[in-house]
Structure 1
Amino acid sequence: MAYGTPYKEEDILRYYTDIRHGHAPTQELYDDLAERYRDIGGISPLARITDEQAAALGSSLNSKNEDVQYQVYIGLKHIEPWIEEAVVEMENDGIKEAYGIVLAPQYSGFSTQSYHSRAQKKIDEIGSEIKLTKILRWFEEPKFLDFWANQIKALNHSFTDEQRKNAMYVFSAHSLPVKILKDGDYYPQEVKRTAELIAERAGITNFVVGWQSAGRTADEWIGPDVLDLTRELSENNYTEYIYLPVGFVAEHLEVLYDNDIECKDVVAEIGANYHRLEMPNTDPLFIEALTDIVMKARETNL
């Protein structure tokens, strides 16, 4: 399951309206979002990447299992194919055993839980016998952590001693409304732990955790925002800023615009060098991580 993205410019309005719980955006909000898509080339590559991730995961699972046949279904939160449509498709195909995985490593009752809830609600609604195992969090999966740590090691190796001494690694994830903290949501702690585990594997100590892509609503959102954080860090005269959007698993608007345009502009503004590590996408190590996650979930149920 994944967030979803417009497939073409004509989809932006209905997509944005769904995100806003059925309320159409103002013209100003719509124009701002449409312009951001134009700035990254017209549309996000997320839909294509999600399809490729699903295909790669299915191929990997079936190559490692002879006793069972896996079929991967895609269910999206804000555009078709909807999560509910995926459930109906599974029912029509006679599926009895399903494993729900959200393409977001850290769990939040506010965000990722809603994917699982919608899937289970549809199963119950149609009276299906599908047993859904909900994979709630997977940020501690070793190969997922290695994917990021290996990149840090490679970049560090390419740096001069001076660059290494003046490098700051900025880990980030999608901000959520501060109100989730009142309900004891562990999301911020899980993002922080993700950064700590990757840094430990990579052997670095010069890192911070920031938040990005906050919604344009009246709610207060978790901070510090990565742009503000970068400006604050500039007082320390770092020359290399390396961004790791570890709350995401694919290149999409939040990475290609919020990181590669906005963060890059701020880094240029303070006279430093911008680096952004590669996203998981369909990297073999990341696909192996997803494969291991699903197989471990199934082994637990056997």
Structure 2
Amino acid sequence: EGDFDVKVAQRYSSPYLSDIAADLRLEEVENIILLPLYPHYSTTTTLSIENEWRRVAHDLINATVIERFYNNEYYIKACTEQIKQKLKKFDVDPHILFSAHSIPIKRVVDGDPYEKEINHNVELIMQNLGKDYSYSLSYQSKVGPIKWLSPNMEEEIDRLVAEGICHLLVFPISFVSEHLETLYELDIQKKEYALKNGIEKYERANTVQTQPEFIKCLKTLVLEGI
């Protein structure tokens, strides 16, 4: 549907936004679609990307920013499909635990919409699943002494075990790709905690990655942003 020049930049590792901005200036590009791969808007993520782009582009390259896509129909389908694939591993219906990256509570108090969008995302996925599973939401990856969104995952696991839950399917709702916080934090640390504290079966659904419906989502977002 068009000839697009796609470049990949990263916020905290190479290739940096500054590297890509320099390349685009050499190519005399004046307008771009900037698509942060964060499904939900937050001042800690999406806004950080926007601010960094303005800093490195020196207002010479105009960017149309796609700020969120958690409610895109194709994204919801992609999330649902990943969950359904792991549901096949259970002989009985598990409790579905959505795990979101936490942020400081002060950000939310100051107006950050992240928590609200996470909650809405959970509801949209559960509606799309088409069956009544028990489910809940917890947060991961807290750092530092200040208060962050809760409950953390260990607290939620303890609560679920106390209620008699022993089969758990975890879905990392904040992430679209696999990395340290899924492959190590969820697949090793949290799994070990769960199995040692009363959970009998623990499975983690894959992130959407290159799931076909997610690719449709990205395509739609870009075409709508032109």
Name the SS for the 1:257 alignment partner.
helix
* CA distance in 1 between partners of 2:11 and 2:83 (Å): 32
CA contact (8 A) 1:169 1:242 kept: yes
Do the aligned partners of 2:34 and 2:66 also contact (CA within 8 Å) in 1? yes
1:118 has 2:52 as partner: yes
Distance, in Å, in 2 between the alignment partners of 1:158 and 1:118 is: 42
Unaligned ranges ≥5, structure 1: 1-64
- Identical pairs, percent: 25
Q: Does 1:274 align with 2:219?
A: no
Distance 1:74 1:155 in 2: 30
Question: For residues 60-89 of structure 1, what are the alpha-carbon distances to aligned partners after superposition, in whole Å with 9 as ceiling and x for unaligned?
Answer: xxxxx23xx211222222222111221111
| Deviation for aligned residue 1:154 | 4.2
| Distance in structure 2 (CA, Å) of the matches to 1:288 and 1:233 | 35
Residues 250 and 279, structure 1, Cα contact 8 Å, conserved in 2: yes
Residue correspondence of structure 1 range 53-64 to structure 2 within 5 A: none
Partner amino acid for 1:146?
A: K
Aligned residue identity for 1:212: Q
- Secondary structure in structure 1 of the residue aligned to 2:22: helix
The residue number in structure 2 matching 1:151 is 82
Q: Is the 8 A contact 1:231 1:266 kept in 2?
A: no
Q: 1:244 is matched with which residue?
A: 171
Distance in 2 of aligned mates of 1:172 and 1:185 = 19
The partner residue of 2:39 within 76, 100, 105 is: 105
What aligned pairs does 1:39-50 form with structure 2 within 5 A after superposition? none
Aligned amino acid, residue 68 of structure 2: R
Asked if structure 1 preserves the Cα contact closer than 8 Å seen for 2:82 and 2:208, the reply is no
Task: Indicate if the aligned counterparts of 1:171 and 1:243 stay in contact, CA closer than 8 A.
Answer: yes
CA deviations over 1:179-228 (Å, ceiling 9, x no partner): 1022111100111111110011002341111101112x232211111121
Look up the match of 2:64: 133
Match of 2:122 in 1: 195
Aligned partner of 2:218 in structure 1 is 290
Q: Distance in 2 between matches of 1:80 and 1:158?
A: 37
Whole-Å Cα distance in 2 between the matches of residues 80 and 186 of structure 1? 29
Give distance in 2, aligned partners of 1:92 and 1:105: 31
What's the counterpart of residue 20 of structure 2? Answer: 86
- Partner Cα separation in structure 2 for residue 152 and residue 282 of structure 1: 15
> Aligned partners of 2:119, 2:56: CA distance in 1, in Å?
33
Give the letter for the 1:276 counterpart.
R
Q: How many corresponding residue pairs? A: 224
Deviation sequence 1:79-115 (CA, Å, 0-9, x none): 2211122111112122222011111100002322010
- Equivalent-residue separation in structure 2 for 1:88 and 1:81 (angstroms): 11
**Counterpart for residue 192 of structure 2:** 265
Task: Kindly state the Cα deviation for residue 254 of structure 1 after the two structures are TM-superposed.
Answer: 0.3
Q: Distance in 2 between matches of 1:261 and 1:75?
A: 29
Partner of 1:172: 99
Q: What SS is found at the alignment partner of 1:84?
A: helix
CA RMSD across the alignment: 1.6
User: Unpaired segments of 5 or more residues in structure 2?
Assistant: none
- What SS is found at the alignment partner of 2:64? strand
